Structure 1
Amino acid sequence: MTPVEHHAEAVAVSKRLRWRCRRGTKELDLLLERFLDDQFLHLDAQDQAAFERLLGLEDHFLQDWLIAGQSPTDGELHRVVELIRTTEFPPAR
């Protein structure tokens, strides 16, 4: 795959995931979209897949884990939740 093809694929994945980051609350939207923008491309393939799987879950799980501080029992999801929780984001633009 050429660098141009790789970039085009990354942009397509990012657009698809951005849509999936839109949730029921502004807090989740901001948290997930900022993580996608700032960290997703730096994750390894396993963590990227876990993030995508996380986006497939219902909002109440995400609120419990990302906002209320609870933890998933699934190890891969737990790792991604911890990455999201501990990521320091630059100030909102």
Structure 2
Amino acid sequence: MEPLIDARAMSKLRWRCRRGLLENDLFVERYFARHPAGFTADQARGLQVLMDLSDNDLLDLLLGRTEPSGELARPDVVTVLAQMREAPARPT
């Protein structure tokens, strides 16, 4: 298994993931909550690529209105996007 990024890199990544649309922030915060131990370098790279998108383009991907294509169709981005799209666990 790939090692996790260090605490400083994780802090920078969290800061970088702040978005202008509340809907995107909800997806991002849920993703961070699911990975409390941190992210691998691949996950961090995939997330950074997604954060380079405009808010509307990111939301379209998160909601499944569009699929990654071109430069976005990379394994790290596709994996992170699939993880972010996962529905939250329902309480029992």
Asked if TM exceeds 0.5, the reply is: yes
**Distance in 1 separating the partners of 2:26 and 2:17:** 8
Q: Where do 5+ consecutive residues of structure 1 fail to align? A: 1-5
**8 Å contact from structure 1 (residues 18, 33) kept in 2:** no
**Distance in 1 separating the partners of 2:18 and 2:67:** 21
TM-score normalized with structure 1 length: 0.67
Distance 1:90 1:33, change over 3 A: farther
- Greater shift in the superposed pair: 39-48 or 57-66: 39-48
Deviation at 1:40, TM superposition (A): 7.1
The answer to whether residue 28 in structure 2 is matched with residue 32 in structure 1 is yes
| Structure with the greater alpha carbon radius of gyration | 1
The answer to whether residue 46 in structure 2 is matched with residue 50 in structure 1 is yes
Provide runs of 4+ in structure 1 moved above 4 Å: 40-43
**8 Å contact from structure 1 (residues 14, 36) kept in 2:** no
Describe how 1:1-93 pairs up with structure 2 within 5 A. Answer: 9-10=6-7, 12-39=8-35, 41=37, 43-73=39-69, 74-76=73-75, 77-86=77-86, 88=88
**8 Å contact from structure 2 (residues 13, 44) kept in 1:** no
- Greater shift in the superposed pair: 27-36 or 12-21: 12-21
TM-score normalized with structure 2 length: 0.67
RMSD: 2.8
